[in-house]
Amino acid sequence: MFGIDDHWCPLQMLEEISKQAPDISLSIEREGHTHSFCCTEAGSVWVAQHVASLIKNKISISSKVKHLSF
């Protein structure tokens, strides 16, 4: 996960990682949370919900693929 204005991990890194590992899931946080998201309740909740959503989507896709293969 990358922030729009995150000096610790600039968006250039997202582009570089995408080139090196094209199958990896990367996202950009656009709601204004800082790199230190874990220091605020709002940031922690947002990241937790985002990660939970990624996991649910991955499980859903895996489940659909298993049903198609039988």
* pLDDT given at position 55: 93
Burial 39-61 (b: 16+ CB within 10 A, else e): eeeebeebeeebeeeeeeeeeee
* pLDDT given at position 25: 83
Which pairs count as long-range contacts for 54-61, CB under 8 Å and 24+ apart, including other chains? 54/25
pTM given for the model: 0.64
* pLDDT given at position 67: 64
User: How confident is the model over 7-48, as pLDDT tens digits?
Assistant: 788 889 999 999 999 988 888 888 887 777 778 888 889 889
Looking at the DSSP assignment, which residues form a beta bridge with residue 28? 2
CA distances from 22 to 9, 14, 25, 38, 47 (A): 18, 11, 8, 28, 23
The residue written with tokens 């709601």 in the block is 31
Higher pLDDT, residue 13 or 68: 13
* pLDDT given at position 61: 81
